[in-house]
Structure 1
């Protein structure tokens, strides 16, 4: 009986978890970077930013992965969804524009963006993407 209840709990939790996609730009970027969120609090925060319900922690940060993601085809990297956070201020060593990062991706995760941590100071959420398959 205990085993059945535990399995049911995990099934309900899996169904309840929402996945949402959002996009942002940085100063001088031509294309939005699309990122995935699965944390309900972060999804709500992103939606609140877009609706104007809040202006706190408007910038996006997280660890980059040097490969494309199906939902982010314009860039050769994506932000690992499990590391995404929103912020007001961050240290300079993780700041970069999307364009500069794409053009210098081979140097990222060393002296440039140590630990692959990306915190673009000029990041601005632009929209929620609802038509990703």
Structure 2
């Protein structure tokens, strides 16, 4: 195709699209606002965008803090699991040897000394 044919096809397609868009607007009774009718619309839109950016920054910061708190909670949970395992060992040792809490405390002291 030569350039004239391409230009002609483009013009026809553009005209059809424009007519179709206008028909849809008329069909749906949507009124297209003239931007000059609202001189402060751009300023209001700019303020709204700035507020949205500020909110997004706060949300990002809150998400980061939540992520940090989640990591700390995970570490705390892991520590609790370890502590629970040590307590179970102590209880098992007290049951095996027999006795009271002093046996368990002695067991923990001995265990800690062995780990160091």
Where on the TM-score scale, by shorter chain, does this alignment land: which range? under 0.3
Give TM-score scaled by structure 1 length: 0.24
The structure with more strand, counted as a fraction of residues: 1
Determine which structure has greater relative contact order: mean sequence separation of CA pairs < 8 Å that are 6+ residues apart, divided by chain length.
1
Give TM-score scaled by structure 2 length: 0.26
